[in-house]
Amino acid sequence: MFARPITHLGPLFVDLAGVELDAEDRELLASPMVGGVVLFARNYVGPEPMIRLCDELHALRTPPLLIAVDHEGGRIQRFREGLTALPSAQFLGRVWAEDREAACRLCRAAGFVAGAELNRLGIDLCFAPVVDLAHRDSTVIGDRAFGSDPAQVAELALHWIRGLESGGVHATIKHFPGHGGVAGDTHHEAAIDPRKAATLERRDLVPFRTLISRLPEISVMTAHVRFPALDPEPASLSAFWIGEVLRRRLGAEGAVVSDDLTMHALDPVGGLEDRTLRALEAGSDVVLICNDRRGAARLVGNLRHPQSPPSRLRLLRLHGTPRRPPGTLSDWPAWQASVRLLAAVQEGGELFTGLGEPR
């Protein structure tokens, strides 16, 4: 079906149904429109099967497909069996209230353990950390936030990112320009934030601005939230938010990733193909198409959108660092020390606050 050699990564990231590749998966992943795979809890039964799956995925194409996962800690940790329990962002924020230096050390340790363990599995990209601010009305963010103070969120997130990337995996800050101010869950319904520009500038945009100034090439995931005081489009489909604010005003140079375009918050916008085109035309480098295999298959057959050389380069930068040899993490002093630190705080507090989304 796709006879010509593929020399780049396409903008679509798709999901898999199970723990092994089947013929349908292989056909979809052969499309030049596909650049990566998003893995979920249903794809994970343990470290060794995941290593085999990631090796197989990476061997399918040149350059290799990117492999991504949500691995925030707390209730959003897709892979659990055989890996270290990671604290929620809220837990880390509570430590900050008592001892800022300890919270920063713990954040770096949590990020490092996540990075080292994901890297060993073969993961390239982690859709974390969340840098949305905590608000009482936002249950979908809730304990996924480091806190309500923008400076605190930025500082803790920076240490978490430094740890993750030292472990060998790239980070993604989310959900730009801020998901914490809405009660609605964009997985299921439209979300509208009526606040004015001055409030967003003073609060929700601060962690993004701070982190991008320190890490210009960090990846950023956009939210399906509408901010009608500034632009009528959801941020994930908005040239204003992506091109004007994120790229020009904040100076972001990394990949822009749209949150899953199958989410019901975008139902008023139109069909999946229309959503995808609008996200790409607004400036997204990556669009996630998950839990809709039929829709993904239609897209790779019908979608026509020119991919710019800078966008292709941004995707290539997302490959993880070469993996350490399998089975050596327990011999790595830095990993041992970080795991001990996490184990010590686990004894004094609840690390997991739920089981997260099971899909």
The predicted pLDDT at position 53 comes to 97
Q: Is 22 a catalytic residue?
A: no
Mean pLDDT of 113-135: 95
71's CB contacts (< 8 A; 6+ apart) are 77, 78, 79, 86, 114, 118, 123, 126, 127, 128
Mean pLDDT of 294-312: 90
Percentage of the chain exceeding pLDDT 70: 92
Lowest mean pLDDT among 21-35, 148-162, 204-218, 257-271: 257-271
355's CB contacts (< 8 A; 6+ apart) are 75
pLDDT class for 28, splitting at 50, 70, 90?
A: very high
More confident residue, 327 or 359: 327
Mean pLDDT of 42-60: 96
Lowest mean pLDDT among 5-19, 25-39, 286-300: 5-19
> Among residues 15, 149, 193, 259, which one is catalytic?
259
What is the C-alpha separation between 70 and 357, in angstroms, rounded? 10
What is the C-alpha separation between 286 and 241, in angstroms, rounded? 16
More confident residue, 354 or 75: 75
Mean pLDDT of 158-173: 97
Task: Work out the number of other CB atoms within 10 angstroms of the CB of residue 202.
Answer: 11
What is the C-alpha separation between 155 and 157, in angstroms, rounded? 5
The yes-or-no verdict on residue 13 having pLDDT over 70 is yes
> Among residues 8, 185, 187, 305, which one is catalytic?
187
The yes-or-no verdict on residue 347 having pLDDT over 50 is yes
The predicted pLDDT at position 252 comes to 98
pLDDT class for 56, splitting at 50, 70, 90?
A: very high
More confident residue, 266 or 207: 207
What is the C-alpha separation between 342 and 351, in angstroms, rounded? 9
Domains of the chain (ranges, CATH numbers): 12-62+70-346 (3.20.20.300)
Bridge-based pairing of strands 172-176 and 76-77 is unpaired
Percentage of the chain exceeding pLDDT 90: 77
The yes-or-no verdict on residue 358 having pLDDT over 70 is no
Mean pLDDT of 308-324: 91
Please, what is the average pLDDT of the chain? 91
Distances (CA, A) of 289 to 4, 193, 262: 24, 24, 6
Q: Is 135 a catalytic residue?
A: no
The yes-or-no verdict on residue 185 having pLDDT over 70 is no
